[in-house]
Amino acid sequence: MPLLQIRNLQIDFRIAQKNMRAVDGVSLSLAAGKTLGLVGESGSGKSVTALSIARLLASPPAIYAGGEIVLAGRDVLQMRAAELRQVRGGVVSYVFQEPGASLNPVFRIGNQIKEALQLHRPEAATAAEIIRLLKLVGIPAPATRVKCYPHELSGGMQQRVMIAMALAPQPKLLVADEPTTALDVTIQAQIIELLGQLRRQLGMAILLITHNLGIVGDIADEVAVMYAGQIVETAPARALLQRPLHPYTRALMKSVPRLDADVNRLTTIAGSVPRLGAFPAGCRFHPRCPQGRPECSQTSPPLVEVESGRRVRCPFWNVAT
């Protein structure tokens, strides 16, 4: 039994009296101690999927329209408020994109970590434990830093504090939603390294949400690629980066400029990411697909296992281009 099993998840947003499906039939599974990378562009539904794991989406406007999210053996979508409070933080913790916006600006960081401890491990809400957590995430001079306010720390240090807070209740799953997007590449490398190291040390699973395929290769075991509310490809990270199968994944990888190559023109994907409520009929990628055929606009292709451990939502994945 995997730690997290999402089956056929469907999430709608009710906007102007209309239900718009943001997540359409997403299934994911993540084993304890493993890392899953969920990759997609803006509007692909990756963050909505991630937030739904602890039922963090405000409802309304969000509607959990179907499917199940089984976390450590229990369906989150069926839980009552008291149970949810234990799961949030206790089983699954979050680290978000903007550490500056996620920390409370008027409390010292030590107190913010203490709050997480008091809620889930009241016996451990001590100064020594707070300092141990700050040391664990690599903050220098933790004994003096506990007294700092968030604005006294750099972006990278703030993100380390966020990670310390997320780790305080000893969760089994850490959801990191674009944890390095607001940071410099030099700091990004530090944070990704830290996440990998903590996973090995603490044995927790990580769900990493990102738009950057390069980060996925550094840390993830498995990858799922999302486009317009659906998963279009899942594969072991290495296999996906070596040989992407879905036309979208292939095009996405080719459109990233590379440091080591002299190319005159970048390969582009025509058009732009479809907006919520305006997803095309048939295959949702077909208007932008370099291999699109007339039938692609008619039928919506299913996600099919094409090789061991690899699933692709495109019937023409092995047609030579």
Partner 1 sequence: MSESLLEIKNLKVYFPVKTGGLTRPKDFVRAVDDVSFTITPGETVGLVGESGCGKTTLGRAVIRLIEPTAGQILFEGENLAHLKSSALRAQRRKFQMIFQDPYASLNPRARVENIIGEALDIHRLTPTRAARRQRVEKLLLDVGLDAAHAQRYPHEFSGGQRQRIGIARALAVEPKLIVCDEPVSALDVSVQAQIVNLLRDLQQEHGLAYLFVAHDLAVVRHISRRILVMYLGRIVEAGESRSVCRSPKHPFTQALISAVPVVDPDSKRQRIMLAGDVPSPIHPPAGCPFHPRCPLAEARCKTEAPILRELETGHQVACHLAK
In the complex, minimum distance from the CB of residue 19 to partner 1, in angstroms, rounded to a whole number: 23
**Rounded distance between C-alpha atoms, residue 170 and residue 146, angstroms:** 19
**x/- binding map, residues 237-256, to partner 1, per CB under 8 A?**
xx--xx--------xxx-xx
Does residue 217 touch partner 1 according to CB under 8 A?
yes
Report the residue number, 83 or 184, with the smaller CB distance to partner 1.
Answer: 184
In the complex, minimum distance from the CB of residue 212 to partner 1, in angstroms, rounded to a whole number: 6
**x/- binding map, residues 220-239, to partner 1, per CB under 8 A?**
-----------------xx-
Closest CA to 169 of 201, 209, 122, 203: 122
CA–CA–CA angle 33, 104, 180 (5° rounding): 45
Report the residue number, 266 or 281, with the smaller CB distance to partner 1.
Answer: 266
In the complex, minimum distance from the CB of residue 247 to partner 1, in angstroms, rounded to a whole number: 12
Report the residue number, 95 or 237, with the smaller CB distance to partner 1.
Answer: 237
Stretch that binds partner 1, among 62-70, 141-149, 164-172, 257-265 (CB under 8 A): 257-265
Q: Map the footprint of partner 1 across residues 191-210, applying CB under 8 A.
A: 193
Stretch that binds partner 1, among 92-100, 149-157, 298-306, 307-315 (CB under 8 A): 149-157
Scanning the structure block, which residue is given the tokens 């959990």?
64
Helices and strands, number each (H, E), in the chain: 11, 12
Does residue 215 touch partner 1 according to CB under 8 A?
yes
Question: How many residues are present in the chain?
Answer: 321
**Rounded distance between C-alpha atoms, residue 36 and residue 39, angstroms:** 10
Look up residue 264 and give its amino acid.
Answer: N
DSSP 214-282: HHHHHH-SEEEEEETTEEEEEEEHHHHHHS--SHHHHHHHHTS--TT---SS----SS-PPPTT-PPSS
In the complex, minimum distance from the CB of residue 268 to partner 1, in angstroms, rounded to a whole number: 4
**Rounded distance between C-alpha atoms, residue 90 and residue 173, angstroms:** 9
Does residue 27 touch partner 1 according to CB under 8 A?
no
Does residue 127 touch partner 1 according to CB under 8 A?
no
Does residue 56 touch partner 1 according to CB under 8 A?
no
H/E element, 175: strand 173-177
Does residue 257 touch partner 1 according to CB under 8 A?
yes
Peptide linkage before 105 cis (omega within 30 of 0): no
Stretch that binds partner 1, among 51-59, 87-95, 117-125, 213-221 (CB under 8 A): 213-221
Does residue 42 touch partner 1 according to CB under 8 A?
yes
Does residue 151 touch partner 1 according to CB under 8 A?
no
DSSP alpha helices (H): ranges in 91-236?
99-102, 109-120, 127-136, 142-145, 155-167, 185-202, 213-219
Residues that bind partner 1 (CB under 8 A): 41-42, 154-157, 184-190, 193, 211-215, 217-218, 237-238, 241-242, 251-253, 255-260, 262-263, 265-270, 272-273, 275, 288
